[in-house]
């Protein structure tokens, strides 16, 4: 099996396939397998997939376990709602809620892949460029024109997927109008919660990573020309930073601790029902990129990887790559589409101003914990 892309989806797929006895070749365009210096929230659904991949102990060693999710108004500082990530939460979702540094997540997947050298062949500096099918083989060529062949190709090559262009005739990703600024700072205040600050036309998420040593910050606001930005290494435009001035003193003090931000435009795609063509199929952001307002892109990528490996191993029919790819989208497209649509709507809620902000705050303030917890059931129960 060929896998284009060695990010979270690609490495998780390689590992899931290896655990079912299938070998794969992972083709990654970057010179090394690496992730940016930022955090990822892992819902119960993702933690269950990591456990299924045999990584529970490795995960335990590096994650933080926040105690609660706080929703706060960014102007007044008021706590609007609180979701304890406590024993009740664990009991309800049969798992906890963790946060992790991206590099730690990638390196535990990578390490597990490296421990299976006979089944997983990891290759760097190879960008998949052309894709063709002949009989029961898929052939790709890399940027040097060299061929690579396999029984099928999994496109795990992210938002700007080259493989997707072979599978689906659709538009480029859609720029949401929002840009995410990211930073990692020392967790001097010993914060032990995920805090979502919601302000007019912006929101900020803060949570601990590396067992509480650092605080991961994501600050999101509108930036009309953000579609032109590419890659996390882009320093944040001054214009965007200015939008965060004038917030509650606690939030302002937090943001002032950041020595430098990097920026990333937020894009998604309209959902599609079919994620494959013949022996070429998509997973992760290549299949269903969504805005990150529910912190679920990587979680869904892990779900895809485990589900695809199970379908490929299914002795009752879906065992061929074509059938497995088709079944994967049948099983999962509605969930992925809901994620895309819900996150688009959430942007309006998080960034509300005027009467809408007032209504949002009132509603969140009246919401009992049980309801807040149950609202997440469609995501975390999976
Ligand atoms: C601000 C922000 C915060 C987020 N927070 C969270 C969170 O808290 N929780 C969560 O679950 N998700 C979160 N996400 C979403 C998550 O980061 C993505 O959904 C996830 O990284 C997707 O993984 P992937 O492997 O599908 O794609 P990617 O991570 O994009 O990996 C794709 C890989 O393919 C490689 N590649 C690309 N093209 C080619 C090619 N032609 N040939 C070979 N290799 C190629 C790339 O180099 C890369 O290594 C967040 C996203 C953003 C933007």
Q: Is 27 in the pocket of ligand 1 (CB under 6 A)?
A: yes
Question: Is there a domain that residue 81 lies in?
Answer: no
Q: Predicted confidence band at 241 (pLDDT cuts at 50, 70, 90)?
A: confident
Closest CA to 120 of 263, 31, 218, 10: 10
Domain with 36, as residue range(s), is 2-65+101-172+269-347
Tell how far the Cα of 376 is from the centroid of ligand 1, in angstroms: 23
Task: Quote the pLDDT of residue 34.
Answer: 76
The CA–CA distances, whole Å, from 249 to 198, 245, 374 equal 14, 10, 32
Residues 242 and 307 reside in one and the same domain? no
At 180-220, the pLDDT tens digits run 999 999 998 889 999 999 999 999 999 999 999 999 999 99
Q: For residues 81 and 294, what is the distance between their CA atoms, to the nearest angstrom?
A: 16
234 or 114: whose pLDDT is higher?
114
Query: For residue 189, what pLDDT is reported?
Result: 83
DSSP 8-state secondary structure symbol assigned to residue 118:
T
* Same domain flag for 209 and 256: yes
* CATH code, domain with 197: 3.30.9.30
Nearest-angstrom CA–CA distance, 76 and 364: 15
Reported as a pLDDT band with limits 50, 70 and 90, residue 305 is very high
DSSP conformational letter for 102 = H
CATH label of the domain that carries residue 52: 3.50.50.60
User: Which of 157, 161, 307 is the pocket-test mutation for ligand 1 (most atoms within 8 Å of CB)?
Assistant: 157
pLDDT given at position 253: 92
Q: Is the predicted pLDDT of residue 326 greater than 90, yes or no? A: yes
- The pLDDT, as a whole number, for residue 242 is 79
Q: Which of 93, 207, 350, 380 is catalytic?
A: 207
Residues 125 and 31 in one domain: yes
User: Residues 236, 277: one domain?
Assistant: no
Beta bridge partners of residue 99, listed in sequence order: 41, 64
User: What is the tally of structural domains in the chain?
Assistant: 2
| pLDDT reported for residue 227 | 54
The answer to whether residue 86 sits within a structural domain is: no
Does residue 182 sit within a domain? yes
- Residue 265: pLDDT band (50, 70, 90) is confident
Q: Is 207 a catalytic residue?
A: yes
pLDDT of 295 strictly over 70:
yes
User: What is the number of the ligand 1 atom nearest to the C-alpha of 127?
Assistant: 42
With the most atoms of ligand 1 within 8 angstroms of its CB, the residue from 63, 202, 298 to mutate is 298
Cβ-based neighbour number of residue 106 at 10 Å: 22
77 found inside a domain = no
pLDDT band at 58 (very low <50, low <70, confident <90, very high): very high
Contact call for residues 83 and 89 (beta carbons, < 8 A)? yes
91 in a domain, yes or no?
no
- C-alpha 38/C-alpha 72 separation (Å) is 22
Residue 130: strand pairing partners? 141
287 lies in the same domain as 338: yes
- Other CB atoms within a 10 A radius of the CB of residue 215 amount to 24
Mean pLDDT of 108-133: 97
Q: How many Å lie between the centroid of ligand 1 and the Cα of residue 229?
A: 16
- Is the pLDDT assigned to residue 33 strictly greater than 90? no
Are residues 54 and 114 located together in one domain of the fold? yes
Phi, psi of 241 (to 5 degrees): -60, -35
Q: Taking residues 140-161, what's their average pLDDT?
A: 97
Contacts of 151 (CB under 8 A, 6+ apart): 1, 136, 137, 138, 279, 321
Indicate if 261 and 189 belong to the same structural domain. Answer: yes
Co-location of 151 and 260 in the same domain:
no
For residues 26 and 123, state if they share a domain: yes
**Would you say residue 72 lies in a domain?**
no
Confidence category of residue 38, pLDDT binned at 50, 70, 90: confident
- For ligand 1, atom 4, the nearest C-alpha belongs to 292
For residue 149, the cross-strand partners are 139
* 113 assigned to some structural domain: yes
Are 277 and 166 found together in one domain? yes
225 shares a domain with 110: no
Those residues whose C-beta lies under 8 Å from the C-beta of residue 172, and which sit 6 or more positions away, are none
For ligand 1, pick from 155, 297, 380 the residue to mutate: most ligand atoms within 8 Å of CB: 297
Query: Could you tell me where the DSSP H helices lie in the chain?
Result: 8-19, 44-52, 56-62, 87-93, 102-114, 162-167, 238-242, 249-256, 297-312, 321-350, 354-366, 369-375, 377-380
Which has the minimum average pLDDT: 34-48, 107-121, 125-139, 198-212?
34-48
Number of C-beta neighbours around residue 186 at 10 A: 9
- Residue 28's pLDDT is 97
Same domain for 294 and 357, yes or no, is: no
At residue 263 the predicted structure's pLDDT band, cuts being 50, 70 and 90, is: confident
DSSP 236: P
What confidence category does residue 140 fall into, taking pLDDT thresholds of 50, 70 and 90? very high
Query: What percent of the chain is modeled with pLDDT above 70?
Result: 94
Residue 16 lies in a domain: yes
């Amino acid at each position: 099996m060929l896998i284009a892309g060695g990010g979270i989806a690609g490495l998780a797929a390689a590992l899931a396939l290896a655990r079912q006895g299938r070998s794969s070749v992972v083709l990654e365009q970057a010179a090394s397998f690496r992730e940016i210096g930022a955090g990822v929230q892992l819902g119960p659904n993702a933690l269950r997939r990591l456990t299924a991949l045999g990584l529970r102990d490795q995960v335990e060693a590096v994650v933080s376990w926040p105690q609660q999710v706080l929703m706060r108004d960014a102007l007044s500082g008021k706590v609007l709602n609180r979701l304890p990530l406590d024993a009740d939460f664990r009991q309800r979702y049969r798992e906890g809620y963790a946060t992790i540094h991206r590099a730690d997540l990638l390196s535990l997947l990578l390490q597990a892949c490296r421990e299976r050298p006979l089944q997983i062949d990891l290759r760097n500096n190879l960008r998949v460029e052309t894709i063709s099918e002949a009989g029961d083989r898929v052939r790709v060529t890399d940027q040097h024109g060299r061929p690579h062949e396999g029984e099928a190709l999994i496109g795990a090559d992210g938002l700007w997927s080259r493989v997707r262009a072979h599978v689906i005739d659709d538009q480029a990703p859609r720029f949401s109008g929002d840009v995410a600024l990211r930073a990692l700072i020392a967790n001097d205040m010993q914060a032990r919660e995920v805090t979502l600050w919601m302000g007019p036309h912006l929101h900020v998420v803060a949570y601990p990573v590396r067992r509480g040593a650092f605080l991961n910050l994501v600050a999101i606001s509108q930036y009309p020309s953000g579609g032109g930005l590419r890659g996390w290494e882009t320093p944040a435009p001054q214009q965007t930073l200015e939008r965060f001035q004038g917030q509650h003193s606690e939030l302002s003090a937090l943001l002032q601790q950041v020595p430098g931000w990097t920026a990333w435009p937020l894009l998604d795609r309209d959902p599609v029902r079919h994620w494959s063509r013949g022996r070429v199929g998509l997973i992760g952001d290549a299949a269903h990129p969504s805005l990150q307002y529910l912190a679920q892109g990587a979680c869904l990528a892990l779900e895809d990887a485990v589900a695809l490996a199970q379908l490929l191993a299914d002795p009752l029919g879906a065992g061929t790559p074509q059938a497995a790819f088709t079944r994967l989208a049948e099983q999962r497209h509605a969930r992925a589409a809901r994620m895309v649509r819900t996150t688009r709507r959430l942007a309006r809620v998080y960034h509300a101003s005027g009467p809408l902000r007032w209504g949002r705050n009132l509603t969140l303030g009246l919401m009992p914990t049980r309801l807040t917890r149950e609202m997440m059931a469609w995501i975390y129960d999976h």
